[in-house]
């Protein structure tokens, strides 16, 4: 039953999942912003994949997409280019050298507030514009473990749950150090923290329902 609920909520490969519907809606909003930027243009996607852009049916002409990850992705073809890099140190890119820095659910995977500050600084240095998405700390269902209020539990309980159960997208980590590393990797951001990282940016909030 739990697995069925997880797939319904968060399986991005399923077009009828809640997560895919929100991702698609978010991407359509991104496309409306994209139309305001003259072409040709370059997008730097931090943590991006070819599969993501194909799933979004992206087919805009005169757009070059640089996929930056910890390891280079082999055998990519135009309009994609793959490079190896670090989100916290985009030393390969000069100031304002790309038109848009794009990132989907990466900045919460950097372990520490210091690393998040580094990524935010680099994003704003390299890109003329940026579109950075991240889950909200205060949303009641933690989006990686897909478990209610998981992010509010004491660390020792988060470690224990990760050691003993496969939850959401996170496989069970029987070894304590593996479980600890997995938990510590994720640092969700609040609206206030996000505004601190990107003080001159426009912040758009997604809502499940509107009252």
Low-confidence ranges of the chain (pLDDT < 50): 7, 211
What are the sequence ranges of the domains in the chain?
2-137+188-197, 139-186
pLDDT of residue 53: 96
pLDDT of residue 157: 98
Q: Could you report how far apart the first and last alpha carbons of the chain are, in Å?
A: 29
pLDDT of residue 22: 74
- The answer to whether 118 touches 89, Cβ cutoff 8 Å, is yes
Structure token digits, residue 17:
């999942």
DSSP state of 110: S
* Global pTM value: 0.90
Give the residue among 28, 16, 31 at the shortest CA–CA distance from 206.
Answer: 28
Phi, psi of 40 (to 5 degrees): -70, 155
pLDDT of residue 7: 46
Structure token digits, residue 48:
């991006």
Q: For domain 2-137+188-197, give its CATH number from 3.40.50.150, 3.30.565.10, 3.30.210.10, 3.65.10.10.
A: 3.40.50.150
Structure token digits, residue 126:
């390299």
DSSP state of 96: T
pLDDT of residue 91: 97
Q: Cis peptide before 93, with omega less than 30 degrees from 0?
A: no
- The answer to whether 77 touches 97, Cβ cutoff 8 Å, is no
pLDDT tens string 101-122: 999 999 999 999 999 999 999 9
């Amino acid at each position: 039953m739990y697995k069925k609920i997880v797939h319904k909520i968060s399986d991005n490969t399923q077009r009828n999942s809640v997560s895919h519907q929100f991702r698609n809606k978010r991407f359509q909003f991104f496309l409306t912003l994209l139309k305001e930027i003259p072409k040709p243009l370059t997008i730097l996607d931090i943590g991006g994949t070819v599969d993501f852009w194909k799933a979004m049916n992206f087919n805009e002409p005169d757009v070059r997409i640089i996929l930056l990850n910890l390891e280079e992705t082999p055998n990519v073809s135009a309009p994609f280019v793959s490079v190896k890099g670090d989100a916290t140190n985009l030393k390969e890119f000069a100031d304002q050298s790309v038109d848009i820095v794009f990132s989907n659910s990466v900045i919460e995977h950097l372990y520490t507030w210091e690393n998040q500050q580094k990524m935010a600084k680099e994003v704003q240095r390299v890109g003329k514009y940026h579109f950075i998405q991240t889950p909200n700390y205060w949303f009641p269902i933690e989006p990686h473990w897909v478990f209610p209020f998981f992010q509010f539990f004491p660390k020792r309980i988060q470690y224990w749950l990760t050691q003993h159960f496969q939850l959401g997208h996170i496989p069970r980590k029987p070894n304590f150090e593996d479980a600890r590393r997995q938990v510590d990797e994720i640092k969700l951001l609040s609206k206030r923290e996000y505004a601190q990282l990107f003080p001159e940016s426009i912040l758009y909030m997604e809502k499940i329902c509107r009252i």
